[in-house]
Structure 1
Amino acid sequence: MSVFDELVGQERVRAVLTSAVARPESMTHSWLFTGPPGSGRSIAARAFAAALQCQDRENPGCGVCPPCHTTMVGSHPDVTVVATSETFIRVERARELALAAASRPVSGRWRILVVEDADRLNEQAADALLKTLEEPPPRTVWLLCAPTLDDLIVTVRSRCRHLRLGTPALDAVAELLVRRDGIEPSMAHYAARAAQSHVGVAKRLATDEAARSRRRWVTGIPMTLTGVGQALAAAASVVQEAATAAEAVTGEDAAQARAEVLRQLGADPAARTQPPEVRAHLKQVEDEQKRVARRRQHDSIDAALTDLSSVYRDALVLGSGAHVEAVNASELDMVRDVARSMSPEELLGALEAIALARDRLVANGAPLLVIEAMMVALILPRAPMGARA
């Protein structure tokens, strides 16, 4: 058993990290893990942190000692994990991390700071970390994660050792689902393929019928886009579905956060009116939850765009005659319909329209307007006669 067992298809990265653990005296103290979604960059960072804290010096990263276990579940006192659900990591949070980096370990060998969404550091927050990244204290290790090098300002990435993770093989992801989660092999292979080797998404598709149903609905959208009316209706459905899902989760979190604030302040939760200082704290909680809900909605829309783009990708591959396995192998009839309705140039245009929508969402464009513009751009150029609105 090893903490690296869930890092599938990344043998080179695993070798580099285990070598670093074996020679800590010459180890880089600031690391940057990059890779496409689902490649396992956060898993690699957490596993590396566990191996550094591991009690077993003969087999570092044993996965069974208390430091390994507490690191992997997120409760080790000397391992701080930042995994924000907001759009940006703000400068105030970055300053807190820089202060934490300066403190000595409480019980472990290292003070380790894992920033799973380093690409969400705004410019001021990134600047606040520069000094500690360049000259961390002797027992401090920084582990930053981002999709690509370009997602971080050059002054941050130049201070880190870079490890790039690739997309794991479908068979490796399926094998993990079978071994770790007990998924039936055929379902594991379907989920790994549909998720495009994203381990987390694959597990959700393999274990949640609602997730599979949602994906089938999204991948069926292209052939419904026969006119402007249908395009606007599809956009509204995608955005509303994402908002509903985000509100459902955030509503539960908000209620818990409100109750915790009232408990900490000794306030009466049944009181009709709270004192001004309590209201101020509750307003902060509400504002934070709104930011979290907005980010969750964006993430849900982005997942839908990933599924949608896979249809146009498959149609393009099918039309080219290339011997490449389809992402939507179980919906090939639908993919063939799209391929017959659009030329290769039009399919490329569809993929570009989806990529543009992603960029506009990252730039905080209004979700409904962004997705409406995208759906209109995806209207079938050769819809059946009389089908256009």
Structure 2
Amino acid sequence: MSVWDELTGQSEAIAVFRDAAGDVGGAMTHSWLITGPPGSGRSNLAYAFASALLCRDGGCGHCRDCRQVAARTHPDLAVLSTDRVIISIEEVRTLVASSQFSPSVSRYRVMVIEDADRMVERTSNVLLKALEEPPERTVWILCAPSEADLLPTIRSRVRSVRLRVPSTDDVAALLERRDGVTPETAVRAAREAQSHIGMAHRLATNAEARARRDETLSVALGIQSVPQAVMAAARLMELAKDDALAITAERDTEERESTLRSLGVEPGQAVPAGLRSQVKQLEDDQKRRATRSLRDGIDRILVDLLSLYRDVLLQQLDARLEPINAAIQSQIDALAGRTEPADTLAVMDSIADARRRIAQNVAPALALEAMLITVALPGTAPRKALP
């Protein structure tokens, strides 16, 4: 099985990168930008391309080079990803410096930045200099949701490949093949994740994640008054925190244990004063990651709520489209029957506003309360003027 077999729904993009890796028709270039919506498989495609460049057989998937790329330990692969809100300028400077090295065992030296959209302008300018004059055998692969997330000067120096949202059937087939779940579980997870590959995997394999999503929708459907809306906002915050903790807790523990072992500190032993700064740096990084994880968890809740009211609107308009939340169709029918399409659109607008406000650092609890009050009081949300 080659590295390309782990991808789904991106046949056009795969063809571009396979040609480039084989240098078919001069398709190879020194810098690439992979764009696409969250969950479309940007980073998966980036590492498949990296394997194809570093493997003697074009990404066979089982040789030492491919295994090292999968483990992110290949000597000619450098990776920059972040669990924080932004990528720091020092991280990019370090990566740029390492990009000047010649390949040690393969044809190329490959530099991957998974979250290129999380660089501020000053940091992006550091990367720009590396893209302008790269070493002959260095290849940059950047990943971002869209070209607009990067500076125009960077966009002009990369070849952009855009991914599409994979179909529900494609994602379900991947879950069955890779994770061994039943067809029913795979289809439901793919549908409820809205073809987000990573979230579909989590819903298909994690019962707690499924339970949290079910409760999110149940909380919203039970709102009948403003006090209930306020209480619901608090409960959604708790669910987001639980979800963030589930994602980060195990990793944090493993990182701390690994760091202490590398510093020669035995389990249960006090950290010597001379080593405390390194442990403190790790703890600070983990706190920043927890902040990012919580923000992502809140956004997932809002996306799930948006899917709920999308289904309600489709029912109200008698649209013949497949529902996302088919498992609670009876509750969707009941809500659609007692509200008007204009009210549903107002709620959907309020959810979109909450996502924007939270991204702009408005307190998440306040943004959720304001959004859920619209749910409690249909018809009271202010209408926006048409542009």
Give the TM-score of the pair, scaled to structure 1.
Answer: 0.90
The question of whether the paired residues in 1 share the 8 Å contact of 2:226 and 2:377 is answered with no
Alignment of 1:227-266 (within 5 A): 227-247=225-245, 249-266=247-264
Report the alpha carbon displacement of residue 80 of structure 1 after superposing the two structures with TM.
1.9
Structure 2 unaligned regions, length at least 5: 381-387
The question of whether the paired residues in 1 share the 8 Å contact of 2:31 and 2:141 is answered with yes
**Alignment deviations for residues 134-192 of structure 1 (CA, whole Å, 9 cap, x no partner):** 22211111111111122222222222111111111111111111222222112211111
Name the Cα RMSD after superposition.
2.2
Alignment of 1:320-359 (within 5 A): 320-359=317-356
**Alignment deviations for residues 292-319 of structure 1 (CA, whole Å, 9 cap, x no partner):** 1111111111111111110011111122
Structure 1 unaligned regions, length at least 5: 384-389
**Matched positions, count:** 379
SS at match of 2:40: coil
Give the TM-score of the pair, scaled to structure 2.
Answer: 0.91
Cα distance, 1:124–1:259 mapped onto 2, change above 3 Å: same
Q: Which runs of 4+ in 1 moved over 6 A?
A: none
**Alignment deviations for residues 34-81 of structure 1 (CA, whole Å, 9 cap, x no partner):** 11112111111111111111111xxx2221222122212322121122
Alignment of 1:32-181 (within 5 A): 32-56=33-57, 60-181=58-179
The question of whether the paired residues in 2 share the 8 Å contact of 1:312 and 1:338 is answered with no
Cα distance in 1 for residues equivalent to 2:108 and 2:234: 49
SS at match of 2:161: strand
Cα distance in 1 for residues equivalent to 2:139 and 2:323: 41
Cα distance in 1 for residues equivalent to 2:49 and 2:102: 19
Q: What amino acid sits opposite 1:47 in the alignment?
A: A
Report the alpha carbon displacement of residue 250 of structure 1 after superposing the two structures with TM.
3.9
Q: What amino acid sits opposite 1:93 in the alignment?
A: E
- Residue 7 of structure 1 is matched in structure 2 by 7
Which moves more between the two structures, 360-369 or 173-182? 360-369
**Alignment deviations for residues 209-262 of structure 1 (CA, whole Å, 9 cap, x no partner):** 222211111122332221221111111111122223434554444444444554
**Alignment deviations for residues 2-44 of structure 1 (CA, whole Å, 9 cap, x no partner):** 2111221111101111111121765111111111112111111
Cα distance in 1 for residues equivalent to 2:187 and 2:239: 27
Cα distance in 2 for residues equivalent to 1:75 and 1:195: 31
Q: What amino acid sits opposite 1:370 in the alignment?
A: A
- Residue 18 of structure 2 is matched in structure 1 by 18
Cα distance in 2 for residues equivalent to 1:262 and 1:212: 34
The question of whether the paired residues in 1 share the 8 Å contact of 2:219 and 2:232 is answered with yes
Cα distance, 1:245–1:190 mapped onto 2, change above 3 Å: closer
Q: What amino acid sits opposite 1:17 in the alignment?
A: F
Identity %: 45
Cα distance, 1:153–1:351 mapped onto 2, change above 3 Å: farther
Cα distance in 1 for residues equivalent to 2:249 and 2:207: 23
SS at match of 1:221: helix
- Residue 385 of structure 2 is matched in structure 1 by none
Cα distance in 1 for residues equivalent to 2:183 and 2:211: 20
Cα distance in 1 for residues equivalent to 2:312 and 2:253: 45
- Residue 369 of structure 1 is matched in structure 2 by 366
SS at match of 2:111: strand
